[in-house]
Structure 1
Amino acid sequence: MAHPSTGSIGVPHSVAVLSATRGSGATLLTAAAGLVVDDAVGRVGQTVILMDADTDGGGLTELTRYWNATCEAPKDGLLGFAEDRVELAIRPVHRYLRHVHTGDPRRQDMALLPLGPGDKPGERLPTDGTLQDIVGAAVDGLVDLRGCLIVDCGVSRTPVTQEVCERVEHIILVGPPDPAGAAETAQLRTWLGERGLDRKVLGRVCNDPQGTGPCTAGPTAAEAPLMLLPYDRSGAADVALGRLPDRGTPLVRTLYDGLLARWPDVLDDGAMGAR
C-alpha cells in the first residue's frame, strides 16, 4: 500500500472518536466509516488510516484481529512504534501499520495502527510516563500521511486521550440515544471544554444498538445529533470481519449520508463514489 505524503485525491482530515460510555459505539463508527471512505474513494488514491488509541480497552484492536491484515514489522501497531530505537521525533510510523487487504481491485488497501500484538490489547505499552508523548508522535506521523485518519479513543479520559484530541482536527462524540446518554455526552463535552478542546467537537452521534428509538436532545437543547446509527446487527457483523456491508443496509446508508453532509470533500472523487 502506498502512503503518499502529498497528492491524495481526497482532502485530508483527522478526527478522534470518543465514547460517552463504554459500549456506545466508537469502535463500530471508526471501523465502519473507514470502510465507507475506502469503498468510495480508495481506488482513486485516498488513503484511509485507522488508529486505536483506547489504551484501556483496545476495542478497535480486538475487532480488527479478524480482518485480513498484514504487517512487515514483527511488532506492529503502537507497541512496535513505541519500541522503535530511533529518536521519537524522527520515528517512521508507516512501517508499523497493518495493511487491510480487501481483495477488491476497485479499492485501495486501508491502513491500521492497532495497539499492537498480544493477548490483551496494550498490555506491553510503556508505563514509565512516556506513553502520552509516544501516542502524540504516532498521531503526528499518521497525519503526515495526508489521508483520512480516524482515531478510536474509546471511553478513556486520560492524558493520552487529551494528547490525541489536541493533535487532530476534529472530535466526534458517540453516546446512547436516551436521556442518560445525552447527560453522559454533556459530561464528556465539559471535560473537553475544560481542556480548551470543545471548539473541535463537530457534534454527537447517537448509537442505537438495541433499536430503542429516536435520539434525545444533545448536550445543549438546540443541538441536533450528527446522525443516529440504526440498529443493524447484520451490518455490524460484516464490519467485524472487515467487510463493508451492502450499500443499501441501514448502517452504510446512514454513514454515507452523514459523511456527505459533513465532509463531502472526503468522498469526492469526481463522481461521489459512483462505480
Structure 2
Amino acid sequence: MREKRELGRPWSVAVVSARPGEGATLVTATAGVMIDHRTGPGGQNVILMDADLLTGGLTSLLRAWQVPGTDDAYGVGARAGDGGGGLVGYALDRERRLRDRGIQHRLQELRSSDGRDGDMNLLAMRAPGSAALTTLGDLPDVMGRAVERLGEIAGCLLVDCGHGWNARTRRICETVEHIFVVGRADARAHPDTLRLFGHLERAGLLPKTVGHLANSPEPAHFAHGFGRRHTTNGHGPGPLAGLPGQGANSAPRQGRRGDTLPVRTLFGLPYDPRAADEIAKGALPGAHSPFWTALCQGMEALEPDLFRTGFDIY
C-alpha cells in the first residue's frame, strides 16, 4: 500500500486490445468495481463507458449491476425525443449541437447485488439502435466529446474501446489521459498486436500508453499458439500462464524472441473463468479469485496511481 495518495485528481483511461476475446472488457469492468470497492463512497466516483459498437460487451457483462428502474444516478432519465439513454441516445440527439449536449442523464447507475458497492455509473451501449451509429459521419467526434463530458463529472473514467483500431478508437485515445493495451500473454509478437502498436505510434499516442497487460483467455495447455480458439472465459484474462518464472509477483518478460513492442508488459493475470462469472452475477470476485488478486496487486504497483481518492463531485 502506498502511504500517501494524491487527493482530488481525476483521471481517464482507454482500454484497447488487438483482437476479440482477449479480456479488455473484463479488465475494464473489474478495475472499475475494484476502485469503487477499495476507495469507498468517500473516494473516487467511477464511470465506465462502453464504446464497443460491435458487441456492447461491457453493457452485457454488467447487466446484473444495473439498478432496475433507474436511468442514472441523478434520477432524471433521458427525455423523450432526445434519443434515449446511453451512448446511442447521446450520439443520436439532434436537438442540440454536440458541444451543448448533456450526458449525466444518460448514465445507468451500477450497484452490486448485495448493495454494498455502488458509487458507479455506466454510459451503456444498448444493442437496439447501435447499428444506426455506424452511419454517423461525425461519430469519432461524438465519441471524443462523450469522453470529455464524462471526464468533467468523474473521479475516474474507464472506457472499453473493444478490439482493433479505427477512427473512433483513435479519437477516444487522443482524449483520455492513459491507454492500456490488453492482450494474450503469448501474443506480444502477433501481427495484430504489432499492427495496433503501429497505429498508436503513428498517432503519437505511445507516450500515454502505460503498457501491456498480459492475458491468456484459456488454461495453460491451450495458451500457446496464435491460432487457438478462445474458451468460455471470453470476457477475460489469464496470465503468463505456463511460462516459467511468470506470475503476478514476478517481473514479466517482454515476450518471445523477436518481440519488438515499444512498451513493457506491466503484469500477468491468471486464467480464472470464475472472475467473469462473479462479475456477471453482480458480485465482486474477491480475495479467493486469482484474477482479482493479481489485478489488485498489479494496479497497486502502477504509476499512475489508479486508486487515488478524495475526488467526490456528485
The corresponding residue for 1:262 is: 302
**Residue 120 of structure 2 is aligned to residue 80 of structure 1:** no
**Residue 254 of structure 2 is aligned to residue 217 of structure 1:** yes
Question: Which digits, 9 at most, give the CA deviation of each residue in 1:43-75, with x for residues without a partner?
Answer: 214110111112233221222234333312262
Q: Hey, what's the Cα distance between the residues in 2 that align with 1:264 and 1:194?
A: 24
The AA in structure 2 aligned to 1:237 is D
Paired residues of 1:175 and 1:182 also in contact (CA < 8 A): no
Describe the shift of the 1:190–1:208 C-alpha distance in structure 2 as closer, same or farther (beyond 3 A). same
Q: What is the correspondence of 1:133-148 to structure 2 with a 5 Å cutoff?
A: 133-148=141-156
Question: Which digits, 9 at most, give the CA deviation of each residue in 1:126-178, with x for residues without a partner?
Answer: 51302111111101001111321111111131110100000001111111111
Q: Hey, what's the Cα distance between the residues in 2 that align with 1:66 and 1:162?
A: 30
The corresponding residue for 1:155 is: 163
Describe the shift of the 1:237–1:103 C-alpha distance in structure 2 as closer, same or farther (beyond 3 A). closer
* 1:49 alignment partner, one of 23, 47, 50: 47
The corresponding residue for 2:56 is: 58
Tell me, which stretches of 5 or more residues in structure 2 are unaligned?
1-5, 72-76, 221-240, 244-251
**Residue 37 of structure 2 is aligned to residue 39 of structure 1:** yes
Pairwise CA RMSD of aligned residues?
A: 2.5
Corresponding residue SS for 1:187: helix
The corresponding residue for 2:9 is: 11
Describe the shift of the 1:195–1:90 C-alpha distance in structure 2 as closer, same or farther (beyond 3 A). same
Tell me, which stretches of 5 or more residues in structure 1 are unaligned?
1-7, 271-275
Larger Rg: 2
The AA in structure 2 aligned to 1:217 is Q
Percent sequence identity over matched residues?
Answer: 40
The corresponding residue for 1:239 is: 279
Describe the shift of the 1:25–1:165 C-alpha distance in structure 2 as closer, same or farther (beyond 3 A). same
The corresponding residue for 2:28 is: 30
Paired residues of 2:44 and 2:308 also in contact (CA < 8 A): no
Corresponding residue SS for 1:247: coil
Corresponding residue SS for 2:16: strand
The AA in structure 2 aligned to 1:46 is Q
Indicate the larger mover: 149-158 or 82-91: 82-91
